[in-house]
Amino acid sequence: MRIGSYDRLARLQRNSETGELDALDQPIKAWTVIASFWVSKTHKSEDEAFAASQRYARRTVTFGCHFRSDVTETDRIEVDGVLYAVKGIREIGFREALEISAEWQS
């Protein structure tokens, strides 16, 4: 991947505890931006799936970026105001780049 192809700003978000407790003394969690970095975006698929007799669109994209060790499958990525749930991470080369497979969240 060439550096020129990283043309979109991504914000990596993680669901973490805020340090506060709710009325039932359970920790309150919130999505927090933990990093911002440049990515390339490739549309993988746009198909329709059926669940419980309801049709819904499923959009899978692949983001490419320089290697990062802080991305996990429980994170989400915001790109161009759209949220994507991280579904898979693949290392390219030896710590050269990452391919992040993500699914659009409604």
Tokens of 4: 């020129």
Tokens of 6: 């990283």
- Report the pLDDT averaged over residues 28-42: 95
Distance of CA 13 to the CA centre of its chain: 8
Distances (CA, A) of 104 to 19, 31, 101: 29, 16, 10
The yes-or-no verdict on residue 73 having pLDDT over 90 is yes
Tokens of 90: 């693949």
The yes-or-no verdict on residue 44 having pLDDT over 60 is yes
44-53: long-range contacts, CB 8 A cutoff, minimum separation 24? 44/101
Q: What is the pTM of this model?
A: 0.80
20 versus 56: which is more confidently predicted?
A: 20
The yes-or-no verdict on residue 52 having pLDDT over 60 is no
Give the whole-angstrom CA distance, residue 89 versus residue 68.
10
